[in-house]
Amino acid sequence: MKKSIIVSRFNEDINWLKDLKDFKKIIIYNKGNSLSNHDNFQIINLDNVGRESHTWIYHIVKNYNNLDDIIIFLQGRIDDLGCMAFLDPNDYILNINKFGYAASRYGLLGPLHWGWNVGIEKNVKYLNAWRSKDISRSKIGFRAFSKILFPDIPFFAATSYGGCFAVKKDLILQYDLNFYKNLLKILSANKNPIEGHYMERLWCYMFTKNKIFFKAIQDVLYTKIENLFNDN
């Protein structure tokens, strides 16, 4: 079984990758300042567009006919994502489910999540970027965008956050190359496209078609209980 780690990096410190001895193939797509070559991983420089969603689609398009059996997609920094990422990438391999997908925590898209801008305009983390229009605006909104990609997507759909996940090759190949090329074109149009935020919420459904719906419900309940105890 061939496995690889694909990292989307801006200016994060990636020294943590040097300790991953179990992975023979690590590719860093660098969208920030220059990096020196390292024996443990390959560095590919890209323009800083499309957020990590662009990076994932770019890798798929360029390697569509030569994908590894399991691919782990990770941000340049994962220790600040809380429950949204495993700190040990090996955990993605251990937790990949029978449907061929793994994330550290699942959630649900529902009535409160299909807003035009997925709540970005209210998120403190993105507020300045939104007001300055560094985040591009959508012409159709999240729900309509999702329905164009996946006409059968239900109103309640499993999701995962943070853009970190593992997926098996056969789930990627359920879509043809043109599907990914069209997505890449959309995500390449802006440094911080709202569609990049949309895709972060759609990876899980895209690859599993809601087959982990009940696991997502369990995780939502677990997160609510966890937050309740943390608040106290």
CATH of the domain at 9: 3.90.550
What is the torsional sign of CA 172, 176, 181, 184?
negative
User: What does the alpha-carbon distance between residue 87 and residue 79 come to, in Å, rounded to a whole number?
Assistant: 6
Residue 232 — very low, low, confident or very high, per pLDDT cuts 50/70/90?
low
Q: Residues 6 or more apart from 12 whose CB is under 8 A from it? A: 32, 75, 76, 77
Residue 202 — very low, low, confident or very high, per pLDDT cuts 50/70/90?
very high
Q: Is residue 20's pLDDT more than 90?
A: no
How far is the CA of 44 from the CAs of 16, 116, 144, in angstroms? 18, 34, 33
Q: Is residue 74's pLDDT more than 80?
A: yes
User: What is the DSSP pairing of strand 101-102 with strand 165-168?
Assistant: antiparallel
Q: What is the pLDDT of residue 231?
A: 66
Question: Are 21 and 37 a contacting pair, CB within 8 Å?
Answer: no
Question: Are 120 and 130 a contacting pair, CB within 8 Å?
Answer: yes
Q: What is the pLDDT of residue 160?
A: 95
- Domain ranges, residue 15: 3-231
Amino acid identity at 107: G
Question: Are 134 and 192 a contacting pair, CB within 8 Å?
Answer: yes
The stretch 166-184 carries a mean pLDDT of 98
Residue 50 — very low, low, confident or very high, per pLDDT cuts 50/70/90?
very high
The total of structural domains in the chain comes to 1
Per the prediction, the chain carries an average pLDDT of 92
The residue count of the chain comes to: 232
Q: Residues 6 or more apart from 158 whose CB is under 8 A from it? A: 106, 107, 108, 109, 204, 205, 208, 210, 212, 213, 215, 216
User: What does the alpha-carbon distance between residue 166 and residue 89 come to, in Å, rounded to a whole number?
Assistant: 9
- Collapse the DSSP code of 15 into the 3-class scheme (helix H, G, I; strand E, B; otherwise coil) and give the result: helix
Q: Which has the minimum average pLDDT: 71-85, 116-130, 161-175? A: 116-130
Which helix (H) or strand (E) covers residue 113, if one does?
none
Q: Is residue 229's pLDDT more than 80?
A: no
Q: Is residue 83's pLDDT more than 90?
A: no
Residue 153 — very low, low, confident or very high, per pLDDT cuts 50/70/90?
very high
